[in-house]
A = this chain, B = another copy of it.
Amino acid sequence: MRIALAQINSKLGDFTGNSEKILSYTVRAKEKHADLVVFPEAALFGYHPVDLLERPSVVKAQEETLVKLHKSIPKEIGVLVGAIVRNPSREGKRYWNAAVFLEKGKKPKVFAKQLLPTYDVFDESRHIEPGKVADNIFRFKKKRILVTICEDIWAWPLSKNPWYARYGSNPLKKIKSKDVDLVVNLSASPFTEMKFDNRRLVTRATVAHFKTPMVYVNMVGGQDELIFDGGSFALNKRGEVQAQSVRFSEDLNLYDLKAEVGGMREPVREPLECVRQSLVLGLRDFVDKSGFEKVHLGLSGGIDSALVACLATDALGPSKVKALYLPGPFSSKESQKWSAKLAENLGIELFEISIMDSYKKTLSEFEKTFGAKEFSVTNENLQARLRGLFLMAYSNQNRSMLLGTSNKSELAVGYSTLYGDMIGGLMPIGDLLKTQVFDLSRHYNKEAEVIPVEIIERPPSAELRADQLDQDSLPPYDQLDKTIQKLVLGFQPAKTPSEKEILNLMIKSEFKRWQSPPILKVSDHAFGRGRRFPVAHSSFY
């Protein structure tokens, strides 16, 4: 049997577009003499549907598209495609997250996901009822194929991650090895640094249990905060990789079960390059799938905005990226110079609007009513918010999406101005710690000095008051980042006075993160919808 791994980029809710793509990949798979073509989880619906599933009319539209798709597929090829279908029982949640097996002229077979991720960004238990994996074996071309969907293979006790492996039992253990000839997994598994290796671990554990080959097909593309990295593959029954698809773009790959051969592309593995390609893909898809064509950002002369400019240029090309330099009373001459140099290096247009007079004017209007006060955070935030004002005016004027430039370290401790530098349609580097921002910037510069080296080497400053340095308000970034990792990703208690102070800053700034734009997620635990903390509370533990 020849199996096609159809690693596609679905658009959430675009049933017609997704269906056309599924059909076109099916036709191509048949041309390549595939007997079976496997698509990712929820390939027809797009992932993740979240509360789109609240409205029955949305699922109905997808189901109607599925019926049409079934009629359109060519003869003599089996199609296994992820879709949302109605739970046939009147009890329990309304839907199944299903894999549907289609053959021309035959009744569709439906297989329901059993393990429903309900942690971090995942909310499947809200609308999805679990099926039984034991029901998910079907016979095709004399093979008994076990269909699993993403999380179904993640209950092996492999990881110390506090979310994973917290299931009451592993449904796969209830199925006997002798009843299965091939395992297939349809996934929509988002990128994080550890995911590539972890996928190998869980698929190999599955293969070891069933003593069969396995085909793993993953979604690719960005959807709001999530970036699906693809990297589909096939293992033989000894757990050896015999087909490997690319990461970060669509791919149609073949695996011949009998011959034990498949397409072997080189998947990106270098950690910084993985992060770069993830963010570029996530940024491009977010802009595109939101219906925008261009973006802009404020260049400050600092490293965060420089990196966002690089990523945006990679994602959309220089003509679709505009930069604004907005000097204020505390901006250094160098900031202007290096911003201009960066824009020149990237080939993006740079505009300049001074906030100097606007700052004087608004401050004096404020002082007219409330009296002059000593320079304080009020003055700092006023500058940041005036920049926001102009950046959003540009957005309104040009129907261009503003990109935010906050990083995870700033967001963690609230070292950012709400409605000032925290604004935008998307935060491309909001899940990168400051130390990672440095690493990725240096990675960019390996090829050539894209980011002027002075931007990388100068001590970080918000330039909102005289002689200001981040280091005056915050611990050194390497120390801060370690603590953030410990508290956010490690879930550990704050022990030292410095850690307790950072925890305190984190808790006190929760109200800012509540109002943050979507953040592209590349770590195992990003700020955003996957981390739901209260604002009004006293849990300083």
Residues in chain A within 8 A of chain B (CB atoms): 11-14, 17, 46, 48-52, 54-58, 60-61, 89, 91-94, 118-119, 123, 125-126, 129, 162, 166-169, 222-224, 285-286, 289-290, 351-355, 357-358, 361-362, 365-366, 368-370, 373, 376-378, 381-382, 385-386, 388-390, 392-394, 396-397, 418-419, 423, 425, 487, 491-494, 511, 514-518, 529, 531-541
Contacts and interface: CB of A to CB of B under 8 A. Distances in A.
Main secondary structure of the interface of A (DSSP, over half): loop
Given A12-B539, A386-B389, 17 more contacts: A11-B537, A17-B538, A52-B533, A57-B494, A58-B541, A94-B162, A118-B123, A118-B126, A129-B168, A224-B534, A224-B535, A366-B393, A370-B397, A376-B396, A382-B393, A425-B511, A518-B535
A393 B378 contact: yes
B389 A289 contact: no
Nearest to A51: B532
A29 B126 CA distance: 39
Contacts of A511: 290, 425, 517
Contact of A289 (B50, B94, B536): B536
Given A91-B168, A126-B119, A289 B396 contact: no
A147 to B, nearest CB: 22
Contacts of A531: 51, 54
Contacts of A168: 89, 91-92, 129
Contact of A538 (B13, B396, B493, B516): B13
A537 B289 contact: yes
A392 B397 contact: no
- Number of identical protomers: 2
Given A54-B162, A393-B378, A123 B532 contact: yes
A12 B533 CA distance: 11
Contacts of A11: 536-538
Contact of A397 (B14, B50, B378): B378
Instruction: Tell which of A51, A167, A169, A492 has the most Cβ of chain B within 10 Å.
Output: A51
B370 A386 contact: no
Instruction: Tell which of A46, A60, A517, A532 has the most Cβ of chain B within 10 Å.
Output: A532
A17 B538 CA distance: 10
A351 B369 contact: yes
By Cβ-Cβ distance, the 4 closest A-B pairs, closest first, are: A13-B539, A57-B493, A289-B536, A12-B537
Contacts of A162: 54, 94
Given A91-B168, A162-B94, A537-B13, A362 B390 contact: yes
